[in-house]
Every structure is written in structure tokens, then in C-alpha cells.
Amino acid sequence: MTFDILNSDTGSEPAESYRLHLPAATANDLAGPSVEPSLVYGFGDPDNGFGGGWRLSFTSYDFATRTLRYGREQLVLDIPGEAPELRLTRTGDTLRLMHRSGLVEILSPAEGPETALVSQTHAPSGGSISYTYSDERCLNGIFDDQSSQIMRIEHGSDQVRFVYPQGATDQFTATLTLHDGLLTTATFAPGEDATWSFTYKDGQLATVREPHGYVVVYENGKRASVRLSD
């Protein structure tokens, strides 16, 4: 597995203030589709199972605010509605998000009647993946057409682990540590120096200490500075 790291993602948009890319996973014997999740912090976002403010970058729709989140994008969109590169429709309680690329995402109700979360992704090539959630509506698994699990997310009281099964052996690629409901560290590739640490002020993200020595400082919901650690 490989992973990509985005140093600091902000300044102009306080709604999304920091992003870490997690390892990608490809379904159906590498035929696709692929999932490329990111762990994203948003000021004012609730706890989605990864600590207050943190969420995964998978597609969701908030009926109360008419907000669609997908990938790195966020926009207000009615149902039915169209935006550049996509179209959103509804059949009963199910939403269908069609991308110009041919990718189709199915969103199903979750977190009560106000939110729909992605439940299936269909690639133009014909392959698909499905998403499963816990009773607390936290994502806990992604499966392909062969019912093979390509990603498992284990939620504990003070730790979350992202597991990429490979045959009979599980490869642990990311571990999140939480304290008092807040994400304090994120470690990639155990055994290597790849740990991010996070501090908070009044429950909001205050600093991010990156493994290569930089510290990102936030004030009033925006990035204030980036400096080398002491």
C-alpha cells in the first residue's frame, strides 16, 4: 500500500481546514473502482467517529442545509439538481449522484432523516463497491462485488484503526488515538516516523505537528502560521 500526504489544506475555507490522505484501496482484483479516503477536519463539524471535527471524505448529503460533500468539494444543491460535472436525483429515500466521468454513487439515509451517506459506488467499467456502517452510523467496512472486504475500520473507545486485508493477513496502515473525544495522534505505517499530533483550544483544532518537523497553527478557525517545531 502507498499513501499520499497533504501538508496543509486551508486558510481561505474554514469549513475544511486540514486533510490527511489515507492509503487507497482497489476493488475486484484491481479492476476497480478504487477508494481514496481522506481524513478531514472541519471547524464546527460533529464527531463522526474519528474525534470532534474529523470525518472521512466520502460522499454525503445534508437535507437540512442542502449541502453535498464529495471528495474535496462542498456545495449547496437542490434535489433534483445539477452542477458542473454531476447530477443529483432522488427515488424514495435513496439519492443517486451521477458524475460526468460515468461514476455513480448511491446515498442512503443515515444519522436520522436529515443525512444520507454513500452506500454504493458503481464504476463505468461495471464494478462496484458497497459501504457498511455501525449502529452508531460510523463507517466500518467497504466490500467489492466478490464480497471481499477491501477496508475495515475498527472503532474503539480511544482508538480507531484502518485495516486493509490482504489474503489471510491484515495490514494495519493507520491508527488514530483519541482522548476525551478528540483526535490526538494519527500514525501511518507503524514502525516508521510517520505520526501527526494534534492539540485543541476550546474544543477546536489549534495545532498540527507534522512528522517532518512543521507545526501548523490555527486561530479563529483559520490557518494562522506554519513554523518549524522547536
| Per-residue pLDDT at 140 | 92
Residue 56 domain flag? yes
Please indicate, yes or no, if residue 13 is contained in any of the structural domains: no
The pLDDT score that the predictor gives to residue 87 is 96
What is the pLDDT, as a whole number, of residue 75?
Answer: 92
CA-to-CA distance for 152 and 140, rounded, in angstroms? 6
- What is the pLDDT, as a whole number, of residue 212? 83
Residue 67 structural domain: 18-228
What confidence score (pLDDT) does residue 8 get?
Answer: 41
- For the chain, the farthest-separated pair of C-alpha atoms sits apart, in whole angstroms, at 56
Q: Which residues pair with 157 in a beta bridge?
A: none
Within-domain flag for 11? no
pTM (2 d.p.) = 0.83
What 8-state DSSP symbol labels residue 90?
E
Low pLDDT (below 50) residues in the chain: 1-15
User: ∠29-73-76 over CA atoms, to 5°?
Assistant: 125
Q: 52 in a domain, yes or no?
A: yes
Per-residue confidence (pLDDT) for residue 168, from 0 to 100: 52
Structural domain contains residue 8: no
Q: Is residue 1 part of a domain?
A: no
pLDDT at 73: 83
Domain presence at residue 3: no
Residue 87 CA, distance from chain mean position: 22
Q: What is the pLDDT of residue 199?
A: 95
| Cα separation, 226 vs 230, whole angstroms | 12
Helix (H, G, I), strand (E, B) or coil at 22: coil
pLDDT number for residue 113 = 67
In a domain, 99, yes or no: yes
Q: How many domains does the chain have?
A: 1
Q: What are phi and psi of 138, to 5 degrees?
A: -100, 135
Q: Are 57 and 41 in contact (CB under 8 A)?
A: no
